[in-house]
Structure 1
Amino acid sequence: MSTHYSKPVLVRSVQSIQAADLLPANAGRASRVHALINALGLKDSVQIEAARAATDEELCMFHSAEYVRAVCYAGSDESDFGLVHGCSRFVGMASHVRYAAGGTLVAAEALITGRTRTALHWEGGRHHGRRARAAGFCYINDAVLGILRLQQRFSRILYIDLDLHHGDGVQLAFEHSARVTTLSLHHASRGFYPGTGLACVEGRGRGQRRSINVNLQPGARDGTFTGAYSAVGELVVERFAPDAVVLQCGCDGLAGDPHKVFNLTTDAYAECLRVAMAWARPLLVLGGGGYSHSDCARCWARLTAVACGRGSDVPADVPEHEFLGEYGPGFEMAVDAMRVADENSAESVRAIVDAIAGQLG
């Protein structure tokens, strides 16, 4: 097993990008993300490893065989598996599911074998999927599959979820586990999907106090978000001493996202990644939500640069490439915050941190 850690691994392939582009909720997003990564000249700073299609056996590490048949083969009853409304069937669904899962497994395997200390898979991070049900635009829960694969080498794993929406599927999967701690920073309120993640500390049985939630109010700015992340993250790392970390970087909390709930810039996500890298554990980095193609590309391309140690090299302007016209009228790499009130105060964030600290003991 190698002890020499070289460049970060970026998992992608032509097939996996095409499969991700087919997802109706994020149609065409993956192509934009990787086109910008290429335009920034980051290909030479990463090890590119091809995503592969996960097998039925690999999908069944978490999902039921009946569900795998429903999403990968024709003829199953859609309503029994949540394949309705926002998770309706679409052309290429089986390919999307297999490559989203397979890419995350390849990234996890790069960490297990020691080929890298940081592995990136931007088409992953589908965190709402259940064992036998699609949910929240997530037909697969590759984050759970990645954690299960990491457990082949790493005893204790910390999963951190930066998505605007609660990482409910991952928390539910491991709520009884003593080996996996989940930390989700999100917005939760009545009527806001998925309607969970209100309690600061949850978990059941052996997993008691290992499901941790930071519920922030609308308007959260960079300082609010990163302050809560750093304070709670340090508590959790100290308390649970993870051997590896999984960081889901759903960027629907960006100021430019159609949800318009949080008011974050890419600076917040970059700082969260830097903090996670400073913990010096093997790190699996995944994508997730985000419904402005250009802003997702800006964010994940910048995070790729940070992972490579080239965060300071990112230019002010979006470089020339095939999708440049979609970045107008400013054509800037930055995502500007909006002029809206941050409904979180320093006192309210401190209260959350103190509540978590008190319950963790």
Structure 2
Amino acid sequence: MRSKDRISYFYDGDVGNVYFGPNHPMKPHRLCMTHHLVLSYDLHKKMEIYRPHKAYPVELAQFHSADYVEFLQRINPDTQHLFPEEMAKFKLGEDCPVFDDMFEFCQIYAGGTIDAARRLNNQLCDIAINWAGGLHHAKKCEASGFCYINDLVLGILELLKYHARVLYIDIDVHHGDGVEEAFYFTDRVMTVSFHKYGNLFFPGSGDVKEIGEREGKFYAINIPLKDGIDDTSFTRLFKTIISKVVETYRPGVIVLQCGADSLAGDRLGCFNLSIDGHAECVRFVKKFGLPLLVTGGGGYTKENVARCWTVETGVLLDTELPNEIPDNEYIKYFSPECSLRIPTGHIENFNSKSYLGTIKMQVLENLRCIQHAPSVQMQEVPPDFYIPDFDEDEKNPDERIDQHTQDKHIQRDDEYYEGDNDNDHNMDDV
């Protein structure tokens, strides 16, 4: 175990200001609520806080098709009616509406995950957090499930420059189909998704029989669950499978998607997990002591999303948080009880012991088909893709990686309380 983890945390206040539209369940405002809750518990004093750079279109095209990225950049609510064919082709519309500042929103959350991966690659931190990321449904050429750009795939591609094997773990209530699909044919990335599975439940994929193909056969792992799973069943299954995965696959780095729609009481979810149960998965993954990139994901009861990701920030910092929520800008959302923990749900648990036992045996059997962790021939690492647009005089020659927006410490009036940057590890002068 490392003595003290160095944690980089990425946030841009603009990411929470976009609006998907009336009645749309995705509320980016939950990111502002999370951030202010993190601040109210003084957790920012124990981390390095960064504003991510806005990912360039050419960076997004490392995974997505150039015509798709170009269309996202060009389209806006006033012009969308002029492009019915492209809207249909790229699956934009009801679930994935076109809204004001949509492309900038994508650039910010994707930039956060890419920057997080780069800091891990350059050993500038041990754990990197981007709660705005985790949009795991987006495909190469189309939007899906409220996701436009797949920041996770972009972050993993970055990590693959330095690591032979990347482990991706997904605890969102929905199957991590976009990430699985991107790496379905390779053994360089193992994807493990715990999710509700059923033909009528989005996205309808993620059967235990989906295991990858060609070089990727047995490197996709799916744990399909039924309604109502509780903390005890979920965490027991999670720990058994993940310990075996880490032991067998021996990843160099882990990416953990912490979708909070698997919590009890979520607007779109159907599990009974408490925040403590959800956070126990984060605690368990942290214990492996491997470089760790943590993102958000789904989560549609926004006050519970903020509670969950704040508790998990505390877990990553080894900090126990008092249950009474300190005063903050969004305190009214947590009233009347203003407590951090939420009760577990009351949905009937349809996951019998025998069902979970069968799933577990099937997954462990598939893992046994992997003889040993795949190795990769050594080759020259491609450079971090970056277009600098800063003044040469600004550059710090001691900094090991490009020092543009992603590596400038930041302070903005709407993000920090005044007088909070007098401790040296929180922020440097810029």
TM range (shorter): over 0.9
Q: Which shows bigger deviation, 127-136 or 343-352?
A: 343-352
1:331 is matched with which residue: 326, 329, 338? Answer: 338
**TM-score of the superposition, structure 2-length normalised?**
0.80
**Which residues in structure 2 correspond to 1:331-350 (within 5 Å)?**
331-350=338-357
* Cα distance in 1 between the residues matched to 2:162 and 2:3: 17
Q: Are 1:201 and 1:359, in contact at CA under 8 Å, matched by a contact in 2?
A: no
* Cα distance in 2 between the residues matched to 1:125 and 1:27: 13
2:126 paired residue number = 117
1:79 is matched with which residue: 88, 103, 108? Answer: 88
Structure with the greater alpha carbon radius of gyration: 2
Query: Could you say what secondary structure the match of 1:183 adopts?
Result: strand
2:323 is matched with which residue: 310, 316, 326? Answer: 316
TM superposition shift of 1:119: 0.4
TM superposition shift of 1:201: 4.7
The residue type equivalent to 2:35 in the other structure is H
Q: Judging by fraction of residues, say which structure has more helix.
A: 1
TM superposition shift of 1:272: 0.7
2:282 paired residue number = 273
* Cα distance in 2 between the residues matched to 1:340 and 1:57: 45
The residue type equivalent to 2:53 in the other structure is R
2:304 paired residue number = 295
* Cα distance in 1 between the residues matched to 2:111 and 2:207: 32
TM superposition shift of 1:4: 9.7
* Cα distance in 1 between the residues matched to 2:201 and 2:305: 22
Q: Which shows bigger deviation, 126-135 or 221-230?
A: 221-230
The residue type equivalent to 1:284 in the other structure is L
The residue type equivalent to 1:257 in the other structure is D
Matched, 1:355 2:354: no
The residue type equivalent to 1:180 in the other structure is V
TM superposition shift of 1:131: 0.2
Q: Which shows bigger deviation, 24-33 or 105-114?
A: 24-33
Aligned residues: 355
Q: Are 2:8 and 2:116, in contact at CA under 8 Å, matched by a contact in 1?
A: yes
Q: Which shows bigger deviation, 246-255 or 76-85?
A: 76-85
C-alpha deviations, 1:141-171, integer Å up to 9, x for none? 0000000001111110000000000000000
Q: Give the direction of change, closer, same or farther, for the CA distance of 1:97–1:70 in structure 2 (3 Å limit).
A: same
Residue ranges of structure 2 left out of the alignment (5+ in a row): 369-430
Matched, 1:14 2:21: no
Q: Are 1:157 and 1:179, in contact at CA under 8 Å, matched by a contact in 2?
A: yes
TM superposition shift of 1:17: 4.1
**Which residues in structure 2 correspond to 1:214-233 (within 5 Å)?**
214-233=223-242
1:197 paired residue number = 206
TM superposition shift of 1:85: 1.1
**Which residues in structure 2 correspond to 1:1-361 (within 5 Å)?**
6-18=5-17, 21-24=18-21, 25-74=26-75, 77-310=86-319, 312=320, 314-361=321-368
Q: Give the direction of change, closer, same or farther, for the CA distance of 1:180–1:120 in structure 2 (3 Å limit).
A: same
* Cα distance in 2 between the residues matched to 1:119 and 1:225: 25
* Cα distance in 2 between the residues matched to 1:260 and 1:240: 30
TM superposition shift of 1:73: 1.4
TM superposition shift of 1:110: 1.1
Query: Could you say what secondary structure the match of 1:110 adopts?
Result: helix
* Cα distance in 1 between the residues matched to 2:10 and 2:37: 15
Residue ranges of structure 1 left out of the alignment (5+ in a row): none
C-alpha deviations, 1:61-117, integer Å up to 9, x for none? 100000001111136521110111111211111111111110101111110111111
* Cα distance in 2 between the residues matched to 1:119 and 1:70: 30
Query: Could you say what secondary structure the match of 2:262 adopts?
Result: coil
Q: Give the direction of change, closer, same or farther, for the CA distance of 1:253–1:59 in structure 2 (3 Å limit).
A: same
RMSD: 1.6
The residue type equivalent to 2:344 in the other structure is A
TM superposition shift of 1:269: 2.0
* Cα distance in 2 between the residues matched to 1:48 and 1:245: 21
TM superposition shift of 1:7: 2.6
TM superposition shift of 1:27: 3.7
TM superposition shift of 1:6: 5.0
Q: Are 2:135 and 2:297, in contact at CA under 8 Å, matched by a contact in 1?
A: yes
TM superposition shift of 1:5: 6.7
* Cα distance in 2 between the residues matched to 1:112 and 1:349: 36
Query: Could you say what secondary structure the match of 1:125 adopts?
Result: coil
Q: Are 1:201 and 1:356, in contact at CA under 8 Å, matched by a contact in 2?
A: no
Query: Could you say what secondary structure the match of 1:78 adopts?
Result: helix
The residue type equivalent to 2:258 in the other structure is C
**TM-score of the superposition, structure 1-length normalised?**
0.95
Q: Are 2:57 and 2:69, in contact at CA under 8 Å, matched by a contact in 1?
A: yes
Q: Are 1:5 and 1:114, in contact at CA under 8 Å, matched by a contact in 2?
A: no
Query: Could you say what secondary structure the match of 1:182 adopts?
Result: strand
2:393 paired residue number = none
Q: Are 2:270 and 2:347, in contact at CA under 8 Å, matched by a contact in 1?
A: no
* Cα distance in 2 between the residues matched to 1:160 and 1:92: 30
TM superposition shift of 1:245: 0.3
Q: Are 2:271 and 2:347, in contact at CA under 8 Å, matched by a contact in 1?
A: no
